[in-house]
Amino acid sequence: MQVRVYFEDTDAGRIVYHANYLRFMERGRTNFLRLLGTDQGALLDGVSDFAFVVRSMQIEFHKPAFLDDVLEIVTAPEQVRGASLILNQRCQRGGDLVAEARVRVAFVSAGKAQRIPKLLRDAMQGDQAD
């Protein structure tokens, strides 16, 4: 998924402010779910007030990104478990790795951790094989 760096994403030096990478990666995670090709309506039948919540994140910054850069956000599952998953995310500019993160996410419904719906879990596990 591509993200363009706008002025609002930068500091006074027109370099991306570090916290904005979290926003870019959030968009990448949302897009990852969309690209799995699952029928989200069927997936969530019977599940109310669901959310994926970030439980922890480790992030490494390798190079700065600048105003008007086009960044590629790549999201891939590392591990898919019953109620949680670990995603690897990379923020790249051309061939340069700008930032990378390892994100642990939990599936929550009605305020409690719940098993990820089977259809979605299967789609993510299938993506691991690619």
pLDDT at 119 over 90: no
Every domain of the chain and the residues it spans: 2-128
pLDDT tens across 49-97, in order? 677 889 999 999 999 999 999 999 999 999 999 899 999 999 999 999 9
CA distance 88 to 74: 8
Arithmetic mean of pLDDT, 3-23:
97
Which sequence positions are flagged as catalytic?
Answer: 11
Residue 31 identity: N
Give me the pLDDT at residue 67, please. 97
Amino acid at 103: V
Quick check: 112 pLDDT over 70?
Answer: yes
**Model's pTM, two decimal places?**
0.84
Give pairs for 77-82: CB < 8 Å, separation 24+: 77/124, 77/125, 77/127, 77/128, 78/102, 78/128, 79/128, 80/116, 80/121, 80/124, 80/125, 80/128, 82/115, 82/116, 82/121
Rounded percentage of the chain residues whose pLDDT exceeds 70? 87
Write down the pLDDT at residue 19.
96
What is 2-128's CATH topology? Thiol Ester Dehydrase; Chain A (3.10.129)
Q: Give me the half-sphere count of Cα atoms (radius 13 Å) on the Cβ side of residue 67.
A: 7
